[in-house]
Amino acid sequence: MSALSQTAPGVDAASASTRMPRRLAILTAITIISLIAGLVLALVIVRPDIDQGNVQRIFYIHMPSFFGAFVAFGGAVIGGIGYLRTRNLRWDALAVAGVEVGLVFSLINLLTGAIWAKPTWNVWWTWDPRLTSAAVMALTYAAYLMLRNAIENPNQRRRFAAIYGIIAFATVLYTLIIIRIRPDTIHPTIIGASPTNAEGTFEATTSTAIALVPNLFIWGFLLPITIMWHRIRLQNVLERLAMRRAEINAE
Amino acid sequence: MSTLTFTPHISRAAMVRLLVIAIALTAALVPFRLAHAATDCATVTDVTSVECETLVNIYRENNGSAWNNSTNWLDDDTVCDWYGVTCDNGHVVGLDLSNNNLTGTVSLSGIGNVLMVNLSGNDVVRLDTTDYLLLALAGVAVLMGLLLLSIFARLRGAKNELRMLEQHN
């Protein structure tokens, strides 16, 4: 018992409580209502793009989901640094939650982008610099989860994962800035000037902003934070479960 | 011996009415015939007949006769010569009808190889991309559903096991 409990600071009765905190319940309700409102704005209220038609509405999820991934992966970096400094399991829970949630948001970003590309570029996928960097980013974080599962020693697993999660954030930053530094990408930029080869750009009007700004907040902040909080609760329960198993085995 | 002859009697007024109806019908059909006469998509060879029909429909449903530039549209069977149409290897690959006074709806569902469409500067809406939007929404729902299911199913399982271990104690 003692060996494991020494390696598990941060998993106290409060953090590992199996009851959903009231604040999380309220946040979840707000997120669900906001998500519905955001979808109504994007799918019903705003008119379809004059050139691309209804498929342009994908943009209101596609771009915000990347920022959702950015926030979640950013959480993984904070969690990783926090764990390496304090060895407190709460930081490790934040890191793993950030990676799992960020990975799903980046997959949503890739999927919606591919579906938008088909009627606009006439291909599901092309090895464009931006698309390639986004795919590398997703694969890098998928490898994080494999790394976690591959290391048996809990301390070593958390330490390696923390370091990997911090380094992996370079792929997020590279994906974020690549459309600004690579003029040969065909990926459009909506905010600011598009690259000269960009195909499928559309005018960002007031109408676009009405749907984009709320969805950017919902998909880029509210939704990842809420899901990460639930994932952290799961991690706390799993850690507490591991401790109990070790205690019983020691007896 | 008298000869029996039959002379149908049609009044002058009835003949005038018939003549007016015939002229009206002909006048109504002339533009329709003109629109179809020059382009027969069944005999078009430079693109597929489906692609040809799609373009003809775009012309008809977007007030083609009022376009700023409709050079060669429906005038001949060489679709690739029509204004704004770009072809490659027997297919329509581009359509640039920007600022051309199109009004209505444009469906490109019959053109599968089109690389880039430019309909800006017109009062039109493309309607053929709704399926892609629905596909994207379904994909998002599946991915998000899997994430939430994974979290809550594991949470439920872990809680149950923890409860059992605490009871065991």
Contact of B119 with chain A, judged by CB distance below 8 Å, is answered with yes
Quick one: average pLDDT of A86-96? 96
ipTM of this complex prediction, to 2 decimal places: 0.86
Closest CA to B163 of A241, A221, A142, A98: A241
Alpha carbon distance A16, A25 (integer Å): 16
Q: What is the pLDDT of residue A7?
A: 41
| Spatial separation of the C-alpha atoms in residues A121 and A123, rounded to whole Å | 5
Q: How far is A83 from chain B (nearest CA, A)?
A: 22
pLDDT band at residue A1 using 50, 70 and 90 as cut-offs: very low
Identify the pLDDT of residue A97.
97
Say yes or no to pLDDT of A222 above 60.
yes
Q: Is A201 left (phi over 0), alpha (psi -120 to 50) or beta?
A: beta
A116: which chain B residues are within 8 Å (Cβ-Cβ)? 132, 136
Query: Which of A43-47, A74-78, B13-17 is the most confident on average?
Result: A74-78
- So what's the pLDDT on residue B110? 64
pLDDT at res. B8: 54
* DSSP code string of A100-128: HHHHHHHHHHHHHHHHHHHHHHS-S----
| % of chain A exceeding 90 in pLDDT | 62
Give the CA distances from residue B87 to residues A80, B46, B129, in Å, rounded to whole numbers and listed in that order.
54, 8, 22
User: Residue A2 above 50 pLDDT?
Assistant: no
A191 vs B71, more confident: B71
Q: According to the model, what pLDDT value does residue A14 have?
A: 43
Count A/B contacts: CB-CB distance under 8 Å: 111
- Residue A44 and residue A47: Cα distance in Å, rounded? 7
Query: What are A31-44's pLDDT values in tens digits?
Result: 999 999 999 999 99
Between chains, do B116 and A199 touch, taking CB under 8 Å as contact? yes
pLDDT confidence of residue A235: 95
Between B21 and B81, the higher pLDDT residue: B81
| Cβ atoms A48, B125 nearer than 8 A | yes
Reported confidence tier of residue A111, pLDDT bands at 50, 70, 90:
very high
pLDDT at position A11 is 53
Calculated CA dihedral for residues A156, A157, A158, A160, nearest 10 degrees: 80
Q: What is residue A144's three-state secondary structure?
A: helix
> What interhelical angle do A129-150 and A59-86 show, nearest 10?
40
User: Does residue A192 surpass a pLDDT of 50?
Assistant: yes
- Average of per-residue pLDDT values in chain A: 87
What residues of A are in contact with residue B118 (Cβ under 8 Å)?
51
**pLDDT tens figures, B10-44:** 677 777 777 888 777 766 655 544 444 467 888 88
pLDDT band at B113 (very low <50, low <70, confident <90, very high): low
Largest CA distance in chain B: 133
Closest CA to A199 of B57, B36, B139, B116: B116
- Which residues in chain B touch residue A56, judged by CB atoms under 8 angstroms apart? 129
* Pick from B117, B139, B151: CB nearest A111: B139
Residue of B nearest to A57 (CA): B133
